[in-house]
Amino acid sequence: MYGKLPSLIVPRVADSEVLLPPVAADDVLHNSSLIQQLTVAAKDAALLRGVLMRTKEDPSSTESTSYAPFSLFPSPVPKKLFAQAHEVQQDFNMLVDRISQDSKFLTKALASTIEVDEFTAGLFRIYKQVLEEGITQPINLGINRSDYMFDRGTDHSPSLKQIEINTIAASYAGLAERVPDVHRHVLNFWGKSDEAAKILSNNALKGIAEGIAKACQMYGSSEAVVLFLVEKVTRNIFDQRCLEMELWNKNIRVIRRQTLDIYERGALDDEKRLFVDGYEVAVVYFRTGYNPEDYHDEVCWDARLLIERSKAIKCPDIATQLVGTKKVQQEIARSGVVEKYFSECPKSAERIRATFVGLYSIDEGPEGDEIITKAIEDPEGFVLKPQREGGGNNIFGEELKQLLGNIKDGPKRSAYILMERIKPQTVKNYLLHPGSALKLSECVVELGVFGVYISKCRKMIMNESPGHLLRTKSREFADGGVSAGVAVLDTPYLT
């Protein structure tokens, strides 16, 4: 329709160069008439395929919806690194599960942090209480997502480097499954059917649904339900609804409740089965509970404790959520720690460690003093991370320098860790945000791989990496995800 496709761009470029989408040469990106036509087709395709979010203006109403932000073109992802990310995910699943069952390690790793971070301390108090009372449910269901960037390296050859692993409320599997169809349509509309056929399908949602369904089966009650624990206001509700529908299609009843509902209408019976509004709960799937704002008063903590004390399978349980804290991730990166958990399989430890960048404790003492001094001298070389999830919490550049200067002489510094800053290759693309002007942006991409596992009594029953999430954001933004209005959904085009 619009002529022959330009040659693919291979991502080995000089430091000053920027990658182009592998289906669009630079002259195409500046062809305003073509871009406008493709944009209209793309937005309509996103709406038709259910790539949806509620609007910022009316986030509580399904009457006001628009397309979720996404990229016009699929972005280049090195095939080798994509395969590496999927391969190592099963190793990460095992690592998270094994650490979650190592109370000595978690207690030692978080000792300094819980002295100064009230939120982490609240989670840890619940963890200690359920340990003292005895774990009532030996089945663990984990749904996590390990996020990576492609670091340029000194020779400009990209390598896979982990940003973080999310062990609670790992989102966007539902919408991520639908975005490839949008990009296929864009390419087919353009007349690029061969390139459209190369876009990978994404089974993240189906894999997560299989994990929850398997956990329900193992719980052992055909009448029990899956409880989605959700926020009061959820712009990203359609991503959750995708998963709900998958479970309903498997004849699994799903109920949605907020934390306050659990406190007011939840109860345990003599066998510690959890009942909410008369429904026995087989699995509690957390889509909230990872921010201090989610525990706005004491009854929210009481509700979380009620869930943790119950026989319901928690996704995640409190121990697994603690494994996802930045402090624990920093401690895992210490020499010999990963290897300890994979003594029977050194290759797994090697695969995990190959994805690490520098992660540093800034606890009081010579080790912390030394790395703080380096970070103040070179603030662009590090990221300061608090014990928070959800995006938009990290601290960079001059703000990092100022904050470290303010806290370096006191115990509050233990609430943070320092991470070596990744220097990713950039790519040009159009990022489609509802209500925003169309413009060509220089962007960075972030690959997340979903992991789903079930273990019982320290034995792995299921261990999968069913799918992925690619997010792209303008280079001008250092931090922030799709829900924060910074990143957009994308599709990997393997090169």
Report the number of distinct structural domains present in the chain.
2
Average pLDDT for residues 360-366, to the nearest whole number? 95
Same-domain status, 305 and 275: yes
Q: What is the tally of helices (H) and strands (E) in the chain? A: 18, 20
Burial class (CB in 10 A: 0-12, 13-18, 19+), 396: middle
Residue 13 placed within a domain = no
pLDDT in tens, 63-96: 889 999 999 999 999 999 999 999 999 999 999 9
Average pLDDT for residues 345-360, to the nearest whole number? 97
Indicate the pLDDT class of residue 12, thresholds 50, 70 and 90. Answer: very low
Q: Which of 159, 166, 236, 455 is catalytic?
A: 166
Query: Has 166 been annotated as catalytic?
Result: yes
Q: How far apart are CA 184 and CA 249, in angstroms?
A: 26
Residue 275: how many other CB atoms lie within 10 Å: 16
Is the pLDDT reported for residue 13 higher than 90?
A: no
pLDDT in tens, 26-77: 777 888 899 999 999 999 999 999 999 999 899 888 888 999 999 999 999 9
Choose the final residue of a domain: 390, 421, 452.
421
Q: Which of 195, 308, 389, 446 is catalytic?
A: 389
Per-residue pLDDT, 488: 96
Same-domain status, 255 and 398: no
Q: Which of 43, 178, 241, 385 is catalytic?
A: 385
Q: Which of 304, 326, 327, 351 is catalytic?
A: 326
pLDDT in tens, 293-335: 999 999 999 999 999 999 999 999 999 999 999 999 999 999 9
Residue 19 placed within a domain = no
Same-domain status, 169 and 280: yes
Two tokens, residue 282 = 């087989």
Whether the Cβ atoms of residue 171 and residue 465 lie closer than 8 Å to each other:
no
Residue 5 placed within a domain = no
Residue 118 placed within a domain = yes
Per-residue pLDDT, 28: 77
Same-domain status, 271 and 392: no
Whether the Cβ atoms of residue 154 and residue 462 lie closer than 8 Å to each other:
no
Residue 79 placed within a domain = yes
Q: Which of 54, 287, 401, 471 is catalytic?
A: 471
Is the pLDDT reported for residue 14 higher than 70?
A: no
Q: Where are the beta strands (DSSP E) in 209-362?
A: 225-229, 254-257, 266-268, 274-276, 279-286, 313-315, 359-361
Indicate the pLDDT class of residue 4, thresholds 50, 70 and 90. Answer: very low
Whether the Cβ atoms of residue 124 and residue 322 lie closer than 8 Å to each other:
yes
Query: Has 385 been annotated as catalytic?
Result: yes
Choose the final residue of a domain: 421, 441, 458.
421
Range of the domain at 412: 358-421
Same-domain status, 173 and 244: yes
Whether the Cβ atoms of residue 228 and residue 287 lie closer than 8 Å to each other:
yes
Q: Which of 324, 368, 390, 391 is catalytic?
A: 390
Choose the final residue of a domain: 389, 421, 453.
421
Q: Which of 171, 361, 394, 429 is catalytic?
A: 171
Query: Read out DSSP for 438-451?
Result: P-EEEEEEEEEEEE
Q: CA angle, corner 179, sides to 82 and 437, nearest 5?
A: 110
To the nearest whole percent, how much of the chain has pLDDT over 90? Answer: 85
Residue 385 placed within a domain = yes
Residue 447 placed within a domain = yes
Indicate the pLDDT class of residue 486, thresholds 50, 70 and 90. Answer: confident
Structure-model confidence comparison of residues 349 and 26, the more confident one? 349
Among 472, 407, 466, CA closest to 73: 472
Instruction: For residue 377, give the CATH number of its domain.
Output: 3.30.1490.50
Query: Has 389 been annotated as catalytic?
Result: yes
Query: Has 311 been annotated as catalytic?
Result: no
Whether the Cβ atoms of residue 77 and residue 443 lie closer than 8 Å to each other:
no
Same-domain status, 242 and 376: no
**N-terminal to C-terminal alpha carbon distance within the chain:** 24
Is the pLDDT reported for residue 157 higher than 90?
A: no
Q: Where are the beta strands (DSSP E) in 100-201?
A: 139-151, 159-166
Per-residue pLDDT, 15: 39
Q: Which of 50, 140, 144, 145 is catalytic?
A: 145
Per-residue pLDDT, 26: 73
Bridge pairing between strands 266-268 and 274-276: antiparallel
Same-domain status, 110 and 194: yes
Same-domain status, 299 and 402: no
| Residue bearing tokens 């280079």 | 475
Q: How far apart are CA 160 and CA 356, in angstroms?
A: 9
Same-domain status, 208 and 127: yes
pLDDT in tens, 225-241: 999 999 998 999 999 99
Query: Has 390 been annotated as catalytic?
Result: yes
Among 422, 463, 439, CA closest to 152: 422
Same-domain status, 201 and 273: yes
